[in-house]
Structure 1
Amino acid sequence: MPPKSPPIFEFLLFEGFSNMVLASAMEPLRDVRMNSGQEVSGWRVTTLDGAPVRSSSGLQITPDGSFDEGETNRTLVLVAGYHVRDQVTPTLLAKLRTATRQAERVLALDTAAWLLAAAGVLEGQAATIHWQELEAFSETFPKTEVSTARFVRSGAFLTCGGASTALDMMLSLIQELYGSAAAFGASTMFVYDPSRQSELNRGAARLEQRGSPKVLEAVNLMAERIESPLSTAELAKQVSLSERTLARAFQRELGMTPGKYYKILRLQHARYLSEETHLSLEQIAHRCGFSSASSLGRSFVGLYGRTLRDTRTQERPWVKSAR
């Protein structure tokens, strides 16, 4: 029997969805897929009839296809926004009832929990929704346990409100599916100036309630020293820990040693430089702390299963255009 392929994340968009909510859920997945050395889920975007839809800001999105409620082995992500009540039709509700029975899990972002509740699938479940709809949601669907939490998991259903809560929910799901290191990496994908981001409580600092300050401090040091990597002993000294204690903290919180995480961070940066610049492989190697292009190449193949040169010429199937 052939191995089961990873489930697809299917983003079902409704007219009036929020661009920020969609990006907050999709971009962490892009980061995980781009930086993971393992086979992970892809995604596609659909609408009920396969026709383009407009976001709340007027941006028109052309989907990959139309929604098929009978499809299996997928994580279904509903993204709704304004005028959600106008989306409710008998046809849609029937499709949602079928689709939620078939899906691995169902995520409802922004106001999309309203659609699930209208379909009756949230009866007896806990859920949340965009804060502006909380009171009306509670009154309209008394058989659903309404929560004010940032996001709620209840059985196969995950619900959240706005963009920042969608990001939190997706990072939590990424940690569950792909591990703490993947979630940590996705959470810091916009960190380019670690010291400035730390001051602003962004990047690694935004996880202070989830990870130990010493691990976060060490990761920020790694990000600052990509070109001239610190040894584990030097890292430990700078964060005032013993090597053994630092190693235990990384193993507990990220599931790997500091050295392995550091190498992954450097290889991710090498991949970025390969795809986004015209630097030679030798130049990339030195900018990422490797002694030579061949040394970088061996490590890169070991993590990604393909060469750095391939990343410059190979079309990535989950990206339709360069930017």
Structure 2
Amino acid sequence: MSKLLPDNSARYWSGRGGDAPIRFGFLLVPDFTLIGFGSAVDPLRLANMVARRTLYQFVTLTMDGQPVRSSAGICVQPDLAATAATDLDGVFVIGPNPIPTSGNEPIIQWLRNLAAKGVPLGGVDTGSYFLACAGLLDGYRSTIHWEDMDALLDRFPRLVVSNKLYEVDRNRCSCSGGIAPVEMMFHLIGLGGGGRKVASSVAELLIYELRGPDERQKTSLRDVSGASHPKLVEAIKLMECNIEEPLSMEELAEHMQFSARQLERLFRDTLSCTPRQYYLQIRLERARQLLTRTNRPIADIVMACGFVSFAHFSHRYHTGFGISPSAERRRQTTDPEKAAKES
């Protein structure tokens, strides 16, 4: 387990003391991610099993108490309406994908009311976006799913947002997507009545290798490709760090103390493409992320991803994804089939 944070987070996440179970509420926002919800709840269930007593109780919530569908289309019947939930020792917002741009005010006001009562609050996946909208992450460290980090910082540029798997800062916590909630819950179990011994036992039951809060989110194409050649990883890292002003192949090879021919052979032998093609893929993926996850003007995205003109960018984008950048942007707010036809 990672070391306890020096900000005395334990006192916020250890409940009311004594033998009373720690009671958490999980707000399921429409289109919430099932994997995020399951990854947050199951470690608590296992902690109870390992301790052979009820360390944690948890309830599922929706704003109106009505069933809610996950992003996978699976419908969940909540235990309570959010406004009916009382005596909670912590509340976690299980965020949706994508983040809704309207209709969030009831959630925001409810979170503010909880914060005013001193209830610790957490965000899972995109859940921290709702905390930020409520002004409840000001002065706290936080994180969010890496695909939504730009959108969060564009709207709230003064927030302290990291690319770590999770952050626990006093009475706030947040984590990225996928199974990152498992990591965060291990940490919170360690802070709570279960202690590190129970947290470690839960990790063993899940056949899980514990990682600390300083572990970074894995966002790069080199992780997806499973590249293991040290020089290949070095080359891709250089590409990822130089998107706005792309390096030439000669400059890239020089940084690596390679010849351009050696660099070309390395990529062809391991990834079946040229370094130039792979570099373009990285820049296009970054552009797509900014198009679909932020409201930045397309002209700004063209520059941020190192393209010399909109025409050049549009041609490359359409070739790579089968849709124009403008249609991709429209598709976020209009009917997908209609936008596809316009591409």
TM-score range, shorter chain: 0.5 to 0.7
Whether the aligned pair in 2 keeps the contact of 1:70 and 1:102 (CA below 8 Å) is no
Match of 2:95 among 80, 103, 107: 80
Residues 63 and 106 in structure 2, CA contact (< 8 A), matched pair in contact too: no
User: Aligned pair 1:131/2:146, yes or no?
Assistant: yes
Over aligned residue pairs, what C-alpha RMSD do you find? 2.3
Find the aligned partners of 1:78 and 1:96 in 2 and give their Cα distance.
9
Partner deviation per Cα, 1:110-141 (whole Å, 9 max, x = no partner): 00111110111111222111110011111111
For 1:186, which of 182, 194, 202 is the aligned residue? 202
Report the identity percentage: 26
State the AA in 2 paired with 1:66: A
Distance, in Å, in 2 between the alignment partners of 1:209 and 1:123 is: 24
Task: Normalising by structure 2, report the TM-score.
Answer: 0.53
- Report the Cα offset of residue 87 of structure 1: 5.4
Residues 124-163 of structure 1 deviation map (CA, whole Å, 9 limit, x = unaligned): 2221111100111111112311111111122211001112
**In structure 2, what is the Cα distance between the partners aligned to 1:31 and 1:167?**
11
Q: What residue number does 1:89 align with?
A: 104
Amino acid at match of 2:202: A
Is 1:57 aligned with 2:72?
yes
SS at match of 1:159: strand
Q: Name the aligned partner's letter for residue 151 of structure 1.
A: Y
2-side partners of 1:42 and 1:48: how far apart?
Answer: 20
Aligned with 2:115: secondary structure? helix
State the SS of the aligned residue for 1:207: coil
Taking the aligned partners of 1:62 and 1:69, their CA distance within structure 2 comes to 15
Contact 2:94 2:126 (C-alpha < 8 Å) held by counterparts: yes
| DSSP 3-state at the match of 1:9 | strand
The 1-side partners of 2:186 and 2:35 are apart by 15
Residue in structure 2 matching 1:19, options 22, 27, 34? 34
SS in 1 for 2:116: helix
Unaligned 5+ segments in structure 1 are 191-202, 211-323
Displacement after TM superposition at 1:168 (Å): 0.5
CA contact (8 A) 1:71 1:102 kept: no
The reply to whether residue 151 of structure 1 matches residue 166 of structure 2 is yes
Q: CA deviation at 1:105?
A: 1.8
Establish whether residue 43 from structure 1 lines up as the match of residue 46 from structure 2.
no
Q: Is 2:222 the partner of 1:207?
A: no
Q: TM-score, normalised by structure 1?
A: 0.56
